[in-house]
Amino acid sequence: MLNDTTRAVIVPDEARQDFLPILFGRSHLIVAENAVYALMERLSPLDYRGGSWDFYEHESKPLFLAPRSRTRFRITGDVTCFQGEVSAEAAGIIATMFAFSHLSFQFETDRLVEGYERLYAYSADHPEASEIFQAID
Residues of the chain with pLDDT under 50: none
58-78 pLDDT per residue, tens: 999 999 999 999 999 999 978
CA 92 – CA 62 distance, rounded (Å): 13
- Could you count the other beta carbons within 10 Å of the beta carbon of residue 85? 14
Type of residue found at 60: S
12-31 residue pLDDT tens: 999 999 999 999 999 899 99
Label residues 13-24 b or e (16+ Cβ within 10 Å = b): eeeeeebbeebb
Q: According to the model, what pLDDT value does residue 45 have? A: 96
**For residues 91-118, b (16+ Cβ closer than 10 Å) or e, as one string?**
bbbbbbbbbbbbbbeeeeeebbeebbeb
Per-residue pLDDT, 24: 95
Q: What are phi and psi of 25, to 5 degrees?
A: 95, 140
Q: What is the DSSP letter of 46?
A: T
Residue ranges and CATH numbers for the domains of the chain are 9-136 (3.30.70.3580)
Structure pTM? 0.94
Return the pLDDT at 109: 87
Residue 53 has what pLDDT? 97
Closest CA to 56 of 44, 45, 68: 68
